[in-house]
Amino acid sequence: MWPVWLIIAGVCFIIEMMTVGFFVFWFGIGALLTMIISFIFPDNLILQTSFFVISSTLLIFCTKPLVKKLSKSDKKVATNAYSIIGKKGIVVQDINPTHGVGQIKVAGEVWSAKTSDDSIIKKGSEIEITEIDGVKAIVKTITNVEEATIK
């Protein structure tokens, strides 16, 4: 009976390669374990089938937290506009929320900018991008032009 369990394991592994989930794999492992049991009890099909069902079920439920932990990807990679969040830049045009104007230069690129607290930031000030709102970078001041010239 061991060749049948080997074939079942092979079919399960092939199905697992064609599917997205990590579910049928455990039936393949259960079939391989049952193949070993079939060497010990070659004539007892009820014992082999029971062992296959129990071992596959236990493998699925016992390894589910491990599989979730390993396949979990909390690491979000910042792309496009969101990649500039946290970077520092220079104000190239006064940021004035009243008039809705202001530009910054970050990593060689010029961005429209505004402040979250509706303050005016003068040209030449060093800023840090805190978030993106639509097509504008929301910034906060790191150093003002006046502070930089006093030092």
Q: Tens-of-pLDDT digits for all 151 residues of the chain?
A: 889 989 999 999 999 888 877 788 889 999 999 999 999 998 899 999 999 999 999 988 888 777 777 766 666 665 677 778 888 999 999 988 888 889 999 988 898 898 888 788 889 889 999 988 888 888 988 865 544 444 4
State the DSSP H helix or E strand holding residue 26, giving kind and residue range, or none if neither.
Answer: helix 24-40
> Residues of CATH 2.40.50.140 domain(s) within the chain?
80-143
Give residue 147's pLDDT: 47
Q: Of 124, 117, 123, which Cα lies nearest the Cα of 140?
A: 117
Give residue 50's pLDDT: 94
Give residue 144's pLDDT: 55
Arch. (CATH architecture) of 80-143: Beta Barrel (2.40)
99 and 115 Cβ atoms separated by less than 8 Å: no
122 and 149 Cβ atoms separated by less than 8 Å: no
Report the greatest alpha carbon distance in the chain.
93
Q: Of 89, 85, 84, 1, which Cα lies nearest the Cα of 39?
A: 1
**Cβ-based burial of 70 (10 A; exposed 0-12, middle 13-18, buried ≥19):** exposed
- What angle, rounded to 10 degrees, do the helices at 45-71 and 24-40 form? 150
Q: How far apart are the first and last CA of the chain?
A: 86
Give residue 51's pLDDT: 93
Residue 123 sits at the vertex; the CA angle it makes with 142 and 117, to the nearest 5 degrees, is 55
The CA distance from 115 to 16, in Å, is 52
